[in-house]
C-alpha cells in the first residue's frame, strides 16, 4: 500500500484476514498455540496469580442476562469481557511457560483477549481462529524488528501485547479497516511496562500480560464506539516508535510483508517454566545430567548472549525468596536442571536447597558479546581436571515444535496440571474442531474441566 502508515498496514491485514485462505501450516500452528496455552494455564493454577487477578472483579456464578460477559478460566465465574481478558491473561502467564517470539509472548495477550471477545460476542470457531492468527501476526510484525531496541527497560509483552490483542478483538467484532486502525492506534497509546520486577523478584510482571489483553479489548471497544486514533500513531514524532525504539528501523519497512510471510510459524514453545532466555541453559543442564555429569563433582562456565545474561534477574546468585527470582536466574535454571534432570514449577520453590545453592556458587556466568541470542555453552570442569563441553547453538530451531511435539509436551505436563488422559484428549479435540464449532463453549468447557477449577 503506497504511502500507508504502520497502523493502516496492520489494520488492513487484520480486518481482512480470512481463515479459509490461511495456509494449512498457519491454521495448525494457531491451534498448537491454543493447546499449549490452555494446558500451561491449567498447570499454572497452582501459582494463584490468576486468583489474585480475579479478586479485582466481582464475578457471577450464573451468566448475566446482559451481554458482554465471558468466563474466568480460573473459577468459571462470569465477568465483563475486559475483566475476563485480564484474569485469563494473568492465568495463562502464571508459570511463565507460554509461547514466545524473541522476547515477546504473543499467546498470553492475544488468546485471552480473543477468548473473552469470542465468548461474549457468541462467534464461531473459524472467526476465533482468524482473530488469534491476526493478533499473532500483528504483534510479531511489531516485535520482530523492535524487541531488542525496547527490552530492557521495557517489557516486550507489555509493549506489543496491547496492539496484538486489539487486532484479535477487532477481528472478532468485525471492525472494518478504519475502526480497526483506530483500535490499534488507541492500543498503542496504552502500551508500556517495565522489566524491573524481574531483578527485584516481585510480582508486577505476572499481571502485564493480562493488562495487555484488557487494554486491547478496551481499545477495540472504544474504536467500535467511534473513538478515533491517530493515523500516524506509530511513526509520528511523539508516537510509539519514538517512545520505545528511538533508533529503530524505517517505518516503511514495518509490517510491509504481512500475509506474504507468516510470523506465527516462527513462534516457539517452552519446555520449562522459566524465562525464554533460560530455556537453552535448562536444556543444557538436562542433557549434561543425561550424559552422566554429576553436579557435585563439577564447576561450570556458562556462556550466554551478553544482553540476555545481563537482563534483569538473569545474573542472580540469590538469596532467592520467590519464583519470580528463581525462574529468571540463569544459574538457578541450569543448576536445577543438572541436579534434578528436569524443572517443574514446584522445583522453582526450592529457594534454599543446599545441593542447588552449592552448585550455583560454582557456576561462572559469562556474558559473551558475540554469542547469538537464545544460545548457551557450558564448559564443565570435573574434580579430576577433565572437562566436558556442550552447547545449544539454535534454541529456536529445537523449540519450534510440530503439533505432535506440542501434544507430547502437553502430555508431559498433564501430571503437573492434574489433567487426566481423557480431559487432555477432550481439550485437544475441542481445539482441533474449532473450524466447525458454532461457538467457543467446547474449548472453554474443556479448559474448565482441568485442575484450575478444582478445590
Cα–Cα distance between 289 and 34 in angstroms, integer? 32
User: CA-CA distances (angstroms) from residue 383 to 204, 255, 284, 300?
Assistant: 42, 53, 20, 11
The pLDDT value recorded for residue 245 is 87
Q: In what order do the strands lie in the sheet with 363-368?
A: 363-368, 298-305, 376-382, 387-392
CATH class of 6-269+400-453: mainly alpha
The pLDDT value recorded for residue 228 is 97
Triad 169, 211, 373: Cα angle to 5°: 95
In DSSP terms, which residues pair with 358 in a beta bridge? none
Cα–Cα distance between 276 and 398 in angstroms, integer? 13
Tell which residue, 368, 327, 374, 367, has the closest CA to residue 351. Answer: 327
Tell which residue, 30, 220, 36, 37, has the closest CA to residue 129. Answer: 30
Cα–Cα distance between 78 and 72 in angstroms, integer? 6
Residues 6+ apart with CB under 8 A from 206: 49, 90, 93, 94, 324
C-alpha cell belonging to residue 33: 498455540
The pLDDT value recorded for residue 453 is 47
The pLDDT value recorded for residue 199 is 84
pLDDT by position in tens, the chain (length 455): 446 999 999 999 999 999 999 999 999 999 999 999 999 999 988 889 999 999 999 999 999 988 899 999 999 999 999 999 999 999 999 999 999 998 999 999 999 999 999 999 999 999 999 999 999 999 999 999 998 888 889 999 999 999 999 999 999 999 999 999 999 999 999 999 998 888 888 999 999 999 999 999 999 999 999 999 999 999 999 999 999 987 778 888 999 999 999 999 999 999 999 999 999 999 999 999 999 888 777 789 999 999 999 999 999 999 999 999 999 999 999 999 999 999 999 999 999 999 999 999 999 999 999 999 999 999 999 888 888 999 999 888 999 999 999 999 999 999 988 899 999 999 999 999 999 999 999 999 999 987 544 44
Cα–Cα distance between 37 and 209 in angstroms, integer? 13
The pLDDT value recorded for residue 66 is 85
CATH superfamily of 276-398: 2-methylcitrate dehydratase PrpD (3.30.1330.120)
The pLDDT value recorded for residue 176 is 97
3-state percent breakdown (helix, strand, coil) of the chain, nearest 5: 55, 10, 35
Measured in residues, the chain has a length of: 455
The helix or strand, by DSSP H or E, that contains position 379, with its residue range, turns out to be strand 376-382
The pLDDT value recorded for residue 383 is 83
Matching residue, cell 502430555: 411
Q: What are the extents of the domains in the chain?
A: 6-269+400-453, 276-398
Query: What DSSP designation does 154 have?
Result: B
Amino acid at each position: 500500500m503506497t504511502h500507508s502508515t504502520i497502523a493502516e498496514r496492520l489494520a488492513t491485514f487484520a480486518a481482512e484476514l480470512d481463515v479459509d485462505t490461511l495456509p494449512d501450516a498457519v491454521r495448525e500452528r494457531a491451534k498448537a498455540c491454543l493447546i499449549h496455552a490452555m494446558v500451561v494455564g491449567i498447570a499454572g493454577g497452582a501459582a494463584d496469580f490468576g486468583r489474585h487477578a480475579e479478586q479485582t472483579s466481582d464475578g457471577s456464578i450464573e451468566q448475566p442476562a446482559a451481554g458482554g460477559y465471558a468466563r474466568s478460566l480460573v473459577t468459571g465465574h462470569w465477568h465483563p469481557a475486559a475483566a475476563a481478558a485480564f484474569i485469563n491473561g494473568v492465568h495463562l502467564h502464571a508459570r511463565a511457560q507460554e509461547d514466545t517470539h524473541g522476547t515477546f509472548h504473543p499467546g498470553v495477550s492475544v488468546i485471552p483477549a480473543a477468548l473473552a471477545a469470542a465468548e461474549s460476542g457468541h462467534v464461531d470457531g473459524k472467526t476465533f481462529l482468524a482473530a488469534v492468527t491476526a493478533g499473532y501476526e500483528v504483534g510479531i510484525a511489531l516485535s520482530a524488528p523492535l524487541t531488542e531496541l525496547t527490552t530492557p527497560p521495557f517489557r516486550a509483552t507489555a509493549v506489543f501485547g496491547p496492539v496484538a490483542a486489539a487486532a484479535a478483538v477487532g477481528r472478532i467484532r468485525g471492525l472494518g479497516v478504519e475502526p480497526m486502525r483506530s483500535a490499534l492506534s488507541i492500543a498503542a497509546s496504552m502500551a508500556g511496562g517495565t522489566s524491573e520486577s524481574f531483578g527485584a523478584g516481585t510480582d508486577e510482571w505476572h499481571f502485564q500480560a493480562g493488562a495487555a489483553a484488557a487494554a486491547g479489548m478496551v481499545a477495540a471497544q472504544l474504536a467500535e464506539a467511534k473513538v478515533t486514533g491517530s493515523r500516524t500513531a506509530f511513526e509520528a514524532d511523539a508516537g510509539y516508535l519514538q517512545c520505545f525504539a528511538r533508533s529503530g528501523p524505517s517505518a516503511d519497512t514495518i509490517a510491509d510483508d504481512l500475509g506474504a510471510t507468516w510470523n506465527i510459524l516462527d513462534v516457539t514453545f517452552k519446555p520449562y517454566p522459566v524465562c525464554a532466555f533460560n530455556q537453552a541453559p535448562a536444556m543444557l543442564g538436562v542433557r549434561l545430567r543425561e550424559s552422566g555429569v554429576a553436579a557435585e563433582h563439577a564447576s561450570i562456565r556458562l556462556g550466554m548472549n551478553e544482553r540476555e545474561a545481563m537482563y534483569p534477574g538473569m545474573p542472580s546468585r540469590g538469596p532467592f525468596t520467590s519464583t519470580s527470582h528463581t525462574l529468571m536466574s540463569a544459574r538457578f535454571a541450569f543448576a536445577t536442571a543438572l541436579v534434578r534432570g528436569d524443572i517443574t514449577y514446584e522445583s522453582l520453590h526450592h529457594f534454599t536447597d543446599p545441593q542447588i545453592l552449592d552448585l550455583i556458587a560454582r557456576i561462572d556466568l559469562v556474558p559473551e558479546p558475540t554469542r547469538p541470542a537464545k544460545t548457551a555453552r557450558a564448559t564443565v570442569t570435573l574434580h579430576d581436571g577433565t572437562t566436558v563441553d556442550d552447547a545449544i547453538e539454535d534454541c529456536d530451531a529445537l523449540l519450534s515444535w510440530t503439533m505432535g511435539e506440542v501434544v507430547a509436551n502437553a502430555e508431559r505436563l498433564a501430571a503437573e496440571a492434574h489433567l487426566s488422559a481423557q480431559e487432555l484428549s477432550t481439550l485437544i479435540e475441542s481445539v482441533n474442531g474449532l473450524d466447525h464449532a458454532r461457538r467457543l463453549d467446547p474449548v472453554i468447557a474443556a479448559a474448565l474441566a482441568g485442575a484450575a477449577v478444582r478445590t
